[in-house]
Amino acid sequence: MATPANLPHPTRADLDLPSVLFALSDPERLDIVRQLRSGPLDMADCSLRVPDMPKSTKSHLMKVLREAGIIRNEANGRGRRLTLRSEDLEARFPGLLPAVLDAPVQ
Amino acid sequence: MATPANLPHPTRADLDLPSVLFALSDPERLDIVRQLRSGPLDMADCSLRVPDMPKSTKSHLMKVLREAGIIRNEANGRGRRLTLRSEDLEARFPGLLPAVLDAPVQ
DNA sequence: CTGTTGATTCGATATTTTTCGAACCAACCC
DNA sequence: GGGTTGGTTCGAAAAATATCGAATCAACAG
């Protein structure tokens, strides 16, 4: 129950469409992905819709995104750096991420 | 508990991205959508991965797709005609459906 | 009219996902 | 060393989904 220096990430070839779509199908998770569009973000800096979300819940959201291969989650000082895996997603599912990110927010 | 002549469908403007992504995030449902790509199909004719799926389960899959606005489900003689709502999806979420349908199957 | 076929709905159960506190750890500061 | 901060993991409970039999109906065939 630690804070492992590095978490497992699927390789590009392992990306699975249903898992990716599922991870993106939650508004809260989708919102995180939208924030990462303009570049990596420290986990502490990414704002959630739910104001006082417990950290275990927040961590779980990130886990779903990471395990689907949508974000990379790396240790960075005391915290965590989140990066959108745009290139991997584009290589495996061309056009998918842009279509999702360009979709109307409401 | 009948077979109503017409089922409710969301309007184009009501299409909701998380709901669409969720509906597409199941392999069985995704497979149905792929089959509808080349044109409408009678429900009885669309083949399922699970060979002897109970009809109530099959009906539920169609309900999720219909309520997300991905397919249209209309009475057609004794059965049901399924149509992919490509134009509505393209109008609301440009590029999304093509990206999903062009993604590698495995 | 009777029987068959194709399909929806309800209700109950099973399974999956989400939520969240507690325990834990590593980095940083004093 | 001791305290604080940011974050993962476990485990249990809650909520959402999926599964499927039974009841029901409409269209069609004879």
Name the residue closest to the C1' of C28 by its CA: A78
pLDDT of residue A103: 98
The CA–CA distances, whole Å, from A20 to A1, A76, B83, B88 equal 26, 25, 25, 23
Coil vs helix vs strand at A77: coil
In angstroms, the CA A14 to CA B86 distance is 28
Interface pTM, i.e. ipTM: 0.94
Domains of chain A: 12-102 (1.10.10.10)
Give pLDDT tens digits for A13-32: 999 999 999 999 999 999 99
Give pLDDT tens digits for B52-93: 899 999 999 999 999 999 999 999 999 999 999 999 999 999
For tokens 């309007």, the residue is B11
Residue A6 burial by Cβ neighbours in a 10 Å radius (0-12, 13-18, 19+): exposed
Confidence of residue A83 (pLDDT cuts 50, 70, 90): very high
Which spans in A1-106 are helix H?
Answer: 17-24, 27-36, 55-67, 86-92, 96-102
Give pLDDT tens digits for A47-68: 998 889 999 999 999 999 999 9
In angstroms, the CA A79 to CA A67 distance is 19
Hey, of A19, A20, A25, which one would you mutate to test binding to chain B, going by the most B CBs within 10 A of its CB?
A25
- Tell me the CA–C1' distance in angstroms for A17 and D23: 38
